[in-house]
């Protein structure tokens, strides 16, 4: 990858919001340079395509029912129940794609960025194959990322992303830009990061409220 392409990815890295969250991922360095769009599409494992199509169908069905008003409430509840069952089955299928040899946890992620910890810095421009297994019903996403840089990182004892690494060894934070992804899968990343941000803000608000309550009792 030439310097111009790398600089463009550095700019794109900031296109979308990123959130700190430890999410299970398979991150595998690829021997070849970044493939073209058509070659990338052929690389996507079938379960990831199925999961994406299922999510689109679920949203389309519920959106259509919302126009029917109160008459559709029971039907919508039934469809949500069935969708939840399908999500559970699909997650089981997707988890068969998890390879322990490349298993890691993210430090943070978003629609255009992926950060994770490693004990050996990766070369700038390195292409990475990423299988990101999001929590709950957010699904899983397959994409390619490109390493932008590495920086020394002091991992805390409670940092889940650092737990697979050997204790006491140097740790690096790898910053990578999402460089090949389908539009619908980028939307999944964006929604998942925003949902996590919302959950974190609610948790912090609850903690502050509990702290004020405790201080009021003193």
Say what the pTM is. Answer: 0.81
| Band of residue 63 on the pLDDT scale cut at 50, 70, 90 | low
Q: Say if residue 35's pLDDT is above 80.
A: yes
Please say if the pLDDT value at position 157 is more than 70: no
What pLDDT is recorded for position 139?
A: 78
Encoding tokens for residue 46? 């079938």
Residue 57 neighbours by CB distance under 10 Å: 12
What residue spans define the domains of the chain? 3-45+97-206
Least confident span in 48-52, 55-59, 178-182: 55-59
Question: Which uninterrupted H or E stretch holds 56?
Answer: helix 46-66
> What's the token pair of residue 206?
């609850």
- Over residues 184-200, mean pLDDT: 90
Contacting residues for 28 by C-beta, under 8 A, at least 6 apart: 99, 102, 128, 129, 130
% residues pLDDT > 70 (the chain)? 76
Distance CA 46, CA 93 (A): 10
For residue 159, the model assigns a pLDDT of 65
Averaged confidence pLDDT in the chain: 84
DSSP lists the bridge partners of residue 117 as 173
Question: What would be the CATH architecture of the domain defined by 3-45+97-206?
Answer: Beta Barrel (2.40)
């Amino acid at each position: 990858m030439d310097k111009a392409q790398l600089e463009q990815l550095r700019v794109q890295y900031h296109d979308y919001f990123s959130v700190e969250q430890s999410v299970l991922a398979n991150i595998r360095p690829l021997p070849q340079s970044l493939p073209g769009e058509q070659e990338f599409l052929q690389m996507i494992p079938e379960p990831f395509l199925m999961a994406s199509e299922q999510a689109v169908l679920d949203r389309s069905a519920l959106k259509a029912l919302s126009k029917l008003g109160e008459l559709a409430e029971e039907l919508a509840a039934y469809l949500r129940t069935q969708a939840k069952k399908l999500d559970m089955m699909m997650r089981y299928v997707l988890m068969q794609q998890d390879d322990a040899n490349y298993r890691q946890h993210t430090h943070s992620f978003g629609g255009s960025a992926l950060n994770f910890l490693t004990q050996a810095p990766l070369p700038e421009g390195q292409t990475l194959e990423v299988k990101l297994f999001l929590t709950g019903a957010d699904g899983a996403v397959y994409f390619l990322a490109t390493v932008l840089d590495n920086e020394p990182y002091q991992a805390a004892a409670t940092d889940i992303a650092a737990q697979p690494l050997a204790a006491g060894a140097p740790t690096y934070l790898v910053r990578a830009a999402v460089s090949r992804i389908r539009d619908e899968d980028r939307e999944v990343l964006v929604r998942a990061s925003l949902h996590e941000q919302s959950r974190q803000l609610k948790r912090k608000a609850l903690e502050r409220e509990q702290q004020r309550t405790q201080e009021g009792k003193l």
